[in-house]
Every structure is written in structure tokens, then in C-alpha cells.
Structure 1
């Protein structure tokens, strides 16, 4: 409805429309469909990485062990070759047959005696060559590889002129050999004693050990995967609790919290604590928002009803009626503006995140407050005490609370009445109080005066919305403190901000 005359343009909104605008409900979001694949994806990745690390570690250990065993086997073969050659050289240099005790008569006898008198180890061969042709071989036939019938090997070793070592690739794999030339004074024939080791067969132990380690490692990896699956389930259970709790939280219900283990001190427990703290802040904000909506809907309904009622019976042709109605509408709009401003101030006071704390000298702050308060009204202002301490707080919010208490005191006192301000430090806390000599607060009103839009039965009529003490209490609470009230009916009242003392 538009005003037909004058400079005002007013649109009237009904109470039903106001409630629809202000009391809008948050959209409730349900948990939605759950996918089993996502539930196990993180668990599977953990198991996969654990399995990969275990297999890589076992692979490295197996490879290193195999290489060490191969190296040890090769050193043992070299030591055996050196030892055998030294032994053969010692026997042949004496020129005496150890079996008969008689001097050797020929090179052939030396070869036969030496090879027959020594038993070859497994995978070892003794061969004797006379004038480049095979002549003798050790009795042990394992392995069944006839090097004596290998012309390439014979060409390599049968006619050496000095002690020689080398390697030969036979049909049975690598053969490491040492050759010792043998001669005898008076005998023109030349002989060669050859010691050969089949290294591939000697390496068989290392290969078997590596194979067994691989099998055991594979079994260990499977057991590790099963263990990792179970452990990952236990580790991720708090995260599933977080997800389950998040799915149950809606715009209507913010009371659910993530379960916390009593003795847990790990990162997941810290995550649960942080999420619960965040949910507390969100819930506090939602409660403040809903309370603001409820209060606004409740308190604005009356002035809107009044405005609609008078506009409904307005006679546009009567100037006096128009003037009276305009004055009434303007007064109600001004009251609505003050009401909204105080509700916004209360909502901000209830938000700890809006505090801007700093280390403040309480004594200096008290004196500054006293200078400001003396201009509120013609009263007998007194500064009773000053706390010489430093405290961390939001000086602007504390100033707002003390000014509200002092303004409330001026409403219940007359010209020349006493109003006192003071501060002190007691037992690790800081107290700032405002005391007046007014009528006091009745016992039945001591709790009710802190409620929203509430006033005592003896409260004088004022333009406020009854939110002053609620704002003071909210400021004290966000500082971690409280508001104390001491009053004797007929002898005044003392309101005290009791705050924790913290310099950091």
C-alpha cells in the first residue's frame, strides 16, 4: 500500500509474510546414496602401498642375500683352487711318491699318483694331461660332464707352460680352473694337472636360498596385506565415524558429535577434536541465528500490527488523521530500528570469533571508562578502586558492557544519586563492577533480568528493548567469564564482570 500524499512511501508487510521472510528454514540435506567402492578405496590404497613396500623390501633383501651368497661361493672356489694348486705343487716338488715312498720315475706316474691320492670335492674335477693329451681324471664322476672329451677345453689347458687360472663356459655352465705344469728331470714328457670347479652347480645353494626367500617373502607379503587390511580398518574407523556423523548433521540438528577415544592422542583424535570444535562453533552460530530470527519475529510483530491497524482505518481526506498516523508510523519505525540494532549487537556479542583481544592495562581502562561514564547523567559518580594488572581482553566489548551497566544504573537512579565504578584482581581473575544506590533488584527478578526482552517489575519505562543486560552477559561469556549480581532491595545493586585473568 502506498501513501497517496506527502513525501513518505511505505509498504506494509503482514506478520505472515514477515515470518516467511525471517524464519526461513535451512534446507536439510540427507546422507545420499552410499557407494561401497568409496568406503574401501582408502583402505585398498593403504593395503596396496603396504604390499608394494613389503614386496620391494623383500626383493631388495633377497637380491642382496643372493649376491652375497654368490660372492661368498666364488671366494670359496678361488680359495679351494689356490689351496689345491699349492698342495699339488708341494707334492710334485719333492719328487717322491707319497704312496710308495720312492722317487717318481716318470711324469705320467706323477700325474696318476697325485690325481689318485686326492679325492675331489663335489662339483670339482682333477684332470691330468700328458704332452697335450688327456691321461687321468679324478674318480668322482659328479657332475657327469666329460671335460676330458671337450677339445676346446683341452686346447685351453693341456699345454700351459706356467701356473695359469681361467674360466671356461662348458655345457654344464661356467668352469673355473687352475692348471699346474709338471715336469721331471730325465723325462722329456711334460704334464699338466688341472683343477676345475663347476661354479653353476656351486651356485645352486644360493639359487635355492633365493627361491626359498622369495616363497617365504610372498607368504609374508600376503600376511602383511591381511594385517594391513585389518589395521587400516582400525585406523580409518574414526574417519568413518566422521563421515557418518557428517551425514547425520542437517540444518535442523547440529547436536551430533564425532565419537572420541578417551586415550587417543594421535592425529586422527586431533582431527575429531577439531571437527567437534568446529561443529560447536557452527551450532553456536545457528542457535544465535535462530534466536535472532525468533526474537525478531516475536518483537516486530507488535509494531507491524499497530502500523497495519492504523493504516487500515486511515482517512486520506482528513489531514489531522493523516498527520497523527504519520507520527505514529514514524515512532513505531524508530522503535523497530532500535530493536533490530540491539538484536544485532546481541548476536555479535555472542560470537567469540568476533572478539579482538589484546593485552590491556586494566587500571588505565578503568580510568578511561570513568571519564566516559560521567557524561551519561547528572549523578554522584565515584571511582572506588583501580586494579593495577594487565589482562588480555577486547577493550571495545568491555567498554560496551560497562557503559550498558552504567546506563542501566542511571535509569534506576535520580539526580545526585551515587553510581560507583571499580576494578580489582582476585584469585587470578579480574573484576569490573558498577554499583548504584537505586531501588535494587527483587530476589525473584535476579535471573529474569538477564533474559531477552525482560525487565524487572519496578523497572521504569524506557525506549530500550530489554536487551542491555543480555548483551552484557553475552560479552562476559565470550570472554570466558560471567556477570555477578549483588543486590538488597531498597539499597541498590552491584553488577560485576568476573573475567579470567590472562596476559597471553
Structure 2
């Protein structure tokens, strides 16, 4: 017994789900029709009430006018037919009812001593003259009385006026009555006509709403169809927007198309990345396996050479994995930790480090003297990667220049080399993961991730990397970073943050190493 309500509740919930319209088009039309019906009902009700009020006011005015006519005739005391004074109350009532023509749905009645005597000739829905209850209510009043009476034909609005005549002890009552429901029939007919016209209007509105909603929701259906047509292997579907009005739904379609472009590009880049990473990681494994297959355990020299090769390849794989992890962390907010940095001192320190990368003609170019908010470790990592790249593509004794300078609101840090240069077709591709330029590198142990890391570090600082190169004339890689001025030290708030570098830098004899200005200085060659 206790388990029965659960299925019943589930059945009711399922029934509600089935009855609830799922299509947006149906819901839009439903709400539109509901609003139209509510508006129609409100307008019809208000119109009907105004017509009924106007009819009731007209009946009240007519009742008052008839009583005034009664008073005018009875006040003279003269019978208009004979010119003689009225002989009795009955004569007064008969004359009053005869001289006043009743309107449709209007009735005049005369009572003498509470008994019915006269009525107008206009036919009425019911005979009030034979209604004893109405006679008791209005036929024997002592003063003018108005009221409403529920007859067999509906509501009756009446006004009863007592009539007396000097010399006649009889008491008469003249009654003017309106059959209110019949008088209001015109208002009822108008309301019914409005409802009939409204019903036709609702049908037309439903048809129009169906067509309009279909056209308005067409981009939404195309979005759904496009999304359903996209698979793991095919991301090329797009929503057509040509020829559509420039409205919110077209903007939605464009936004979805742009999102699909980004998704497709990201998926393609991910696939290329996985393919390249698999290839790069497979190469050292293949090399190790090949040497192990031909290893002669009895030959100590062969064993030592193979162990050295395996160690070298494992080191290269470890470096590659570390660089991949670094690129993955580059998308996290805490990848860089800006802090006040003396740019001139940092430039000199990095120059001292990169000179040990190879036997090159190392030169220190211009040096920016400013205190800025930077991550010194990441910036050093990026510049060292650029210098290492320059060493790979130059010969011993070739010139390599490192420098920094302020340019407007940017800090430029560059590495310029005298290598073979980079073709225009390769200048964007070299920043991709595992990519290498077409010019042969002097060393082949790089994984092709260095420039990708440099670009990630620049982007994390809110900047970018620029490459200026022409084949045969070397290359200049420039980090363009926002020059965010570091706040002054608390103990010396008056110092200018753009001129706070001491001449005695961490790298000694800086001025002795500054050569003649280099033409590039981080700009076009």
C-alpha cells in the first residue's frame, strides 16, 4: 500500500511532461495567444460594463423624465381631454398613462388603493399587472419610491409615485417600469459580437504567429542542425548568415560560427600537437631501441657508448616533457608573478648568462633604465631561449646582440643575430610547437618548443613577440611587453621610476662592453 503513491506521482509527472509543449515555436505561439485572449477578454469586459452602465444611466434618466411629466399633468388638476377638473384619482391615472407613450421595454402601470387598474399598451415580456408581489411592492407606496424587482423576465427597474386628488379619498400610484435585462440586450449583443470577432482574430493571430515564429526561430533551428551535424571528425559545419537581417539571432549565428572556428582551430592544433609530440617522443625511443638491439654486451666500449646515447636521449625526452608541462602551465593565471624589476640590471645579468651558451661575438646593445613590474624569472627564461636559438643558427664568432629599451608605453627586449635569417613563409610557423625554420640548425637536439615558450611568456605578461628577418641577413626576435611602472619604494617616494638604475650594475664593467648602436634595436631590419 505504501508503494502505490510513487508510481502514481511518476505517472502524473510524465503526463505533465507530455502535455508541456517542447517546441519553442509552440510555446511562443501559446504565450502570444494567451496574451491576445487576455487582452480580448479585458477589452470585451470593459466595453460591456461601460455599455451596461450607460444603459442603466439612460433608464434612470428616462424614469426621472416620466415622473416629471406625471407631475406636470397632475399639478394643473385639469383633464386635457375635457378641460374639466379631474373627477377622481382613477381619472388622473388613466390620463397620465394615456398621454405618455411608453418606449420599448418600458411599462406604465396605475394602481388605486393597492389594486391594479391601468397599464400602457406596449407589450412586455411578462405581465406585471398580474404580478401580485410587484403590486404589493409598488402599488401602495406613500412617497416616491425607486427600486429593482426580479421578475420572470429578469430585472425590473421601477419608480413609483403616489397620486392623490382633493375631494377623493382613494389613493393612487403611478408606476414607471423598465425591463432592464431586455434594455441591456444591446450591450450583450455587442459583447458577443466582440467575442466572435476576437475569436477570428485569435485564429488569424495564431496563423500569423506560427509563420513569424518559424522565420524568427529559423537561425536557432539551423544552430541546432549544425551542432547535431558536427562530429569528432568533421567540424566544418557552419550556420549560413548571408542575406539575413542584422538582428540578435544573426548575431547569435555569427557568434556560434566564430566559436566553431575556434573549436576547429583548437582541435586541429591539438591533433597536430599530439602527432608532433608522438613523433618527437617516438624518435628517441626508436634510437634507443635500435642501439639496444645491436648492443654487444661483451664489448665494454660498445656498452659505454650505448649507455651514453641512452642517457642523452632520455635527457632530451625529459627536457621535452618539461617544456610541454611549462606550456601547459602558461595558460594559468599564476604562470607569471610580476614584481618590481630594475630592467637595466636584469638585462646585464641575462647578458652575463647567455654569453656562456656559445663562442659568439656577444654584444650588449641599448639598455632600458627603468623600474617596471615584470616576472624576472620568466623574462630571463624567454631571453635565454632566444639567445639559445640564435646560437643554434649561427657559427662561432658570429655577432649576437642583446638589448632593451623603452618605446612609448612598451618595453622592448630583443636578441639580434647574424645567422641565415628566416624566410617570410616560415616567420609565423616558427612560433608553433615542434616547428623549425627551413634553414638548417647547427644543432639538432632541440624539440622545437623554445619559441612557443617565448611567445607564451610574452602573452602571459600581456605582450607579444615580433620577428624581423630577411634571408641571409640574420633575425631579430623582440619581446614587446607593457611598460607598467613599478611603485616607488616606501623609503624614497620621490624617485622617478624611469630613472632609478645605479651605474654600478650586477654585471661589472657594463659600459666597457657597450658597442656602437645596432641598427635594429628591436625593430625592422
Using structure 2 for the length normalisation, give the TM-score: 0.75
The 8 Å contact of residues 390 and 400 in structure 2, kept in 1 or not, is answered as: no
| Partner SS, residue 102 of structure 2 | coil
> For residue 352 of structure 2, what is the aligned residue in structure 1?
374
Considering Cα pairs closer than 8 Å and 6+ residues apart, tell me whether 1 or 2 has the greater RCO.
1
> Which structure 1 segments of 5+ residues have no match?
1-36
Deviations 1:21-69 (A, max 9, x none): xxxxxxxxxxxxxxxx999722122222222222222122222222222
> For residue 294 of structure 1, what is the aligned residue in structure 2?
275
Greater CA drift, 104-113 or 186-195: 104-113
User: How far apart in 2 are the matches of 1:446 and 1:387?
Assistant: 34
> For residue 436 of structure 1, what is the aligned residue in structure 2?
416
User: How far apart in 2 are the matches of 1:325 and 1:158?
Assistant: 134
Q: Cα 1:74–1:261, aligned 2, differ >3 Å: closer, same or farther?
A: farther
Q: Cα 1:442–1:362, aligned 2, differ >3 Å: closer, same or farther?
A: farther
> For residue 520 of structure 2, what is the aligned residue in structure 1?
none
Match of 2:25 among 32, 35, 43: 43
Deviations 1:311-352 (A, max 9, x none): 222344555544433332222121222233345555766xxx
| Partner SS, residue 91 of structure 2 | helix
User: How far apart in 2 are the matches of 1:493 and 1:249?
Assistant: 42
> For residue 5 of structure 1, what is the aligned residue in structure 2?
none
Greater CA drift, 207-216 or 71-80: 71-80
Q: How much has 1:185 moved relative to structure 2?
A: 0.8
> Which structure 2 segments of 5+ residues have no match?
1-18, 486-525
Does residue 310 in structure 1 map to residue 310 in structure 2?
A: no
| Partner SS, residue 432 of structure 1 | strand
> For residue 407 of structure 2, what is the aligned residue in structure 1?
425
| Partner SS, residue 412 of structure 2 | strand
User: How far apart in 1 are the matches of 2:291 and 2:67?
Assistant: 129
Deviations 1:74-117 (A, max 9, x none): 22212221222122123212223345544323222211111111
Match of 1:336 among 301, 317, 330: 317
Q: Cα 1:502–1:182, aligned 2, differ >3 Å: closer, same or farther?
A: farther
> For residue 78 of structure 1, what is the aligned residue in structure 2?
60
> For residue 147 of structure 2, what is the aligned residue in structure 1?
166
Match of 1:454 among 436, 439, 458: 436
Match of 2:213 among 232, 246, 249: 232
| Partner SS, residue 420 of structure 1 | strand
Match of 1:280 among 261, 266, 279: 261
The 8 Å contact of residues 66 and 209 in structure 1, kept in 2 or not, is answered as: yes
Does residue 268 in structure 1 map to residue 246 in structure 2?
A: no
Match of 1:155 among 131, 136, 144: 136
The 8 Å contact of residues 455 and 466 in structure 1, kept in 2 or not, is answered as: no
> For residue 30 of structure 1, what is the aligned residue in structure 2?
none
> For residue 177 of structure 1, what is the aligned residue in structure 2?
158
Q: Cα 1:480–1:196, aligned 2, differ >3 Å: closer, same or farther?
A: farther
The 8 Å contact of residues 63 and 158 in structure 2, kept in 1 or not, is answered as: yes
| Partner SS, residue 107 of structure 2 | strand
Report the aligned-residue RMSD.
3.9
Q: Cα 1:132–1:449, aligned 2, differ >3 Å: closer, same or farther?
A: closer
> For residue 249 of structure 1, what is the aligned residue in structure 2?
230
